[in-house]
Amino acid sequence: MLNLFTNAFYAVQQRQKQAGSESGYQPTVRVSTRCAGSEVVIKVIDNGTGMSEEVQQKIFQPFFTTKPTGEGTGLGLSLAYEIITKGHQGSLKVASKEGEGTTFLLKLPG
């Protein structure tokens, strides 16, 4: 969860830098939880920079990062993916649109 939050905070911070202080942009990170049958569903939603389709295809690969050299190892989301899918038999999916934001959808068996 920490890696999902950290990435969301980074994305909204980057978008705020791009937009500038006069733009009226309001950085927002939302977290929602709910039970759906026998699953726990957690969403982490941000209105940050978003990701292209190409980046979304690679985002859970080890050592892949969109951050500048020295700012990210590219291990956070790949480790989160492994822990959620293999350690807990859950799922982790991403939906994103460049310039609009990203949603991570995490499902864990109850």
In terms of pTM, does the model score above 0.85?
yes
- What pLDDT shows up at residue 70? 75
H or E segment to which residue 93 belongs: strand 91-97
The distance of Cα 95 from the centroid of its chain, to the nearest Å, equals 9
- What pLDDT shows up at residue 38? 95
- Of 97, 99, 79, 95, the C-alpha closest to 87 is 79
Spans of all domains in the chain: 2-109
């500048």: which residue's tokens?
Answer: 68
Question: What's the topology of domain 2-109?
Answer: Heat Shock Protein 90 (3.30.565)
């927002």: which residue's tokens?
Answer: 28
Q: Would the pLDDT of 12 be above 90? A: yes
Model pLDDT for residues 42-53, shown as the tens digit of each residue: 999 999 999 999
Model pLDDT for residues 54-102, shown as the tens digit of each residue: 999 999 999 888 887 777 777 889 999 999 999 999 999 999 999 999 9
- What pLDDT shows up at residue 67? 81
